[in-house]
Amino acid sequence: MDRHDAGSGGDAHGAANNERARRRDQPRHRPSGPHKARPEGRTNSRPNDRAGARAGEGDGHLYAALDLGTNNCRLLVAQPTRRAFRVVDAFSRIVRLGEGMTHSGRLADEAMKRAVDALGVCRDKMVSRNVTRRRLIATEACRIADNGAEFIARVHEATGLELEIANRETEARLAVAGCASLVDPDAHSAIVFDIGGGSTELVLLLSGDNGFRSPFTVQRNVAAWTSLPVGVVTISEKFGGRDIDRPMFEAMVAYVQEALAPFAAEVARLSRFDEAGVHLLGTSGTVTTICGVHLGLDRYDRRRVDGTWMQRDDVIRVTDELLSMNYDQRVGNPCIGADRADLVLAGCAIFEGIRRLWPCDRVRVADRGLREGMLLTLMADDGVWRRGRRGGRRGRGGRSGNRSPDNQSPDNRSSGDGSSGGSSGNRPGSGSGPTPGEPRP
């Protein structure tokens, strides 16, 4: 549930991890020890993309990140800066690629056409901006659809774009990478969640003895993750989205909590829950919508929303307020609108299921996520922020310097309810390299 991005400039963003998960999609538990991983930041790009990465030494070198989810198609184009990146172009369109898949198991023809049309716009933007390094990923809808591979081929034929179907751990880690700088450095743990259109990812971060002292190290603190086949589109198709009363909402919440039970047990085994010492960090259109309503915005304003702390009572109050609205009232709310009015309560139910399992005192709202994580990963992989170099040679797998980047993005919603996959309680290895991403003073 993403807003239409436009323009450039904005606030600071999160850190990026420099490794690619080697495990694929099987929902299984892993032992807690570290494992070797492939580099995370590489793309399914054509040869000219890689040549551009080697040749792009000047300030004009541009990167692109595209996220095709179950609900949205989103693009960011950005230019590296001394400490981060500056967004020079952006695009977001609700395409509902996964519409009807809950019942059919297939991508519908009309949904595929909407997605291909949006991807054509993205291609034109990347061409006009002379993008030389990019990552283009598709998530849950393409992962699980019977005709997902057929759709990927259709996209390539129609647009020339080669989409990578991201696995579940990759998606979870990229979401963390995009919002790592918003983790409270003094918390002893945090639960990051991304409510998508087709699924929801959750990541447990454990601080150790010294807290989260730098976004450079947050990826090293990933202790467990999961990806559930529970998203705003799937929930709304299962239970309905337009007319939701309290009993129906509670049924949604119970369904979510049942799906979360294995991961909740894993979190309980690995960490001690403390309402004050643990916080939630939400990166999704559901969470940003709730925050916009909480702030009483006349129109959605990313600068007001991103990084906001909400208290537990604030979340409960806004959820109750949205439940009291009928469909037309939700359409009329400037932070919801017609495109999200039938999905927002499904998102609230997922959020409520998470919140009841981990009733933290506060939640931080992130209007950033997967695309920002992709951009930071690509740039870090190219050595953009290598120690002692300013605009110097970019090398594969380069380390970042002491300074953290100030990631800049458009003054609009940059993360949203997209999609993911369905594993439970998977645990990644540790030991990711330093990752840039600290907020601007």
pLDDT higher than threshold 70 for residue 431: no
Q: Find the farthest-apart pair of alpha carbons in the chain and give their distance in angstroms, rounded.
A: 60
pTM: 0.76
Hey, CA dihedral for 231, 429, 192, 268, is it positive or negative? positive
pLDDT for 112-122, tens place per residue?
999 999 999 99
pLDDT higher than threshold 80 for residue 47: no
Please tell me which residue, 83 or 15, carries the higher pLDDT value. Answer: 83
- How many Cβ atoms from other residues are within 10 Å of residue 17's Cβ? 30
Closest CA to 200 of 357, 318, 314, 77: 357
Average pLDDT score over residue span 411-432: 36
List domains and CATH numbers for the chain.
1-441 (3.30.420.150)
Average pLDDT score over residue span 250-276: 94
Amino acid 3 reads R
In eight-state DSSP terms, residue 284 is S
pLDDT higher than threshold 70 for residue 29: no
**Bridge pairing between strands 222-228 and 423-426:** antiparallel
Residue 234 has a pLDDT of 93
Is 265 in contact with 294 (CB distance < 8 Å)?
Answer: no
Is 89 in contact with 80 (CB distance < 8 Å)?
Answer: no
Average pLDDT score over residue span 65-89: 94
State what percent of residues in the chain have pLDDT above 90: 62
Q: How far apart are the first and last CA of the chain?
A: 30
Residue 369: strand, helix, or coil: coil
- Per-residue CA distances from 94 to 4, 196, 334 (Å): 9, 12, 16
Residue 384 has a pLDDT of 87
Mean pLDDT for the chain?
Answer: 79
Average pLDDT score over residue span 381-406: 49
Average pLDDT score over residue span 160-186: 93
Closest CA to 174 of 155, 201, 151, 153: 201
Q: Please return the burial class of 128, using the count of CB atoms within 10 Å of its CB with bins 0-12, 13-18 and 19+.
A: exposed
